[in-house]
Amino acid sequence: MKSWVPALGLTGIGFFIAGCIIGGLLGGKWLDEKFGTEPAFLITGLVLGIALAFLGVYNMIKPIMDNIRKGGKDS
């Protein structure tokens, strides 16, 4: 029964990555339409979305990796 728990965690990470990138793109597109600066904010939103996704995934996976390094079992 516990074998599906890590799979759900990875699915959540995938949705987090997609949400950050899509949110950055949509926010950038909205700002470009509002200020007429196409594609400046779109590119900026994409870069910020990717950076936020990277940092978020790093913070999600860091405790798991620390636990593995210490030799503990992930419960």
Reported as a single tens digit per residue, the pLDDT across 25-58 is 999 999 999 999 999 999 999 999 999 999 999 9
| Residue 13 binned pLDDT confidence (cut-offs 50, 70, 90) | very high
> Is residue 45 within 8 Å of residue 31, measured between CB atoms?
yes
Instruction: Look at residue 30 in the predicted model and tell me its pLDDT.
Output: 98
Q: What percent of the chain has pLDDT over 90?
A: 63
Between CA 46 and CA 27 the distance in angstroms is 9
Tell me the pTM.
0.82
Between CA 21 and CA 36 the distance in angstroms is 21
